[in-house]
């Protein structure tokens, strides 16, 4: 499953390799903490990292969906010209 997450972050970041490298580093760091301290702590931190990733993905998806719908109808009212007073 990790390869799918790396491929998706590479694709949605527009080909930026820094983003997948940061995700990979955080994933490895949580694995190391699980080995160095306790497996429960590592699993908890890894779960929080996955939850944060899902929240960011949902926010990006909702923002992309909102942009496809177009501007709100009230934005068209801003184009009304006011009379010039001399």
The domain in which residue 12 lies consists of 2-67
pLDDT recorded at residue 79? 59
The verdict on residue 85 lying in a domain is no
The verdict on residue 8 lying in a domain is yes
Dihedral of alpha carbons 27, 31, 32, 36, sign: positive
pLDDT recorded at residue 54? 86
The verdict on residue 60 lying in a domain is yes
Residues ≥6 apart with Cβ < 8 Å to 17: 10
The verdict on residue 76 lying in a domain is no
The verdict on residue 81 lying in a domain is no
The verdict on residue 33 lying in a domain is yes
What is the value of pTM for the model shown? Answer: 0.60
The verdict on residue 79 lying in a domain is no
How many domains does the chain fold into? Answer: 1
10-residue block means of pLDDT along the chain (86 residues)? 77 82 88 91 91 86 73 56 68
The verdict on residue 78 lying in a domain is no
């Amino acid at each position: 499953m990790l390869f799918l997450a790396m491929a998706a972050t590479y694709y949605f970041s527009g080909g930026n390799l820094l983003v997948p490298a940061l995700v990979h580093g955080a994933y490895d760091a949580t694995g190391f903490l699980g080995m160095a301290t306790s497996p429960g702590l590592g699993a908890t931190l890894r779960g929080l990292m996955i939850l944060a990733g899902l929240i960011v993905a949902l926010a990006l998806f909702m923002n992309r969906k909102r942009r496809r719908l177009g501007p709100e109808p009230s934005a068209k009212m801003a184009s009304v010209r006011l009379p010039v007073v001399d």
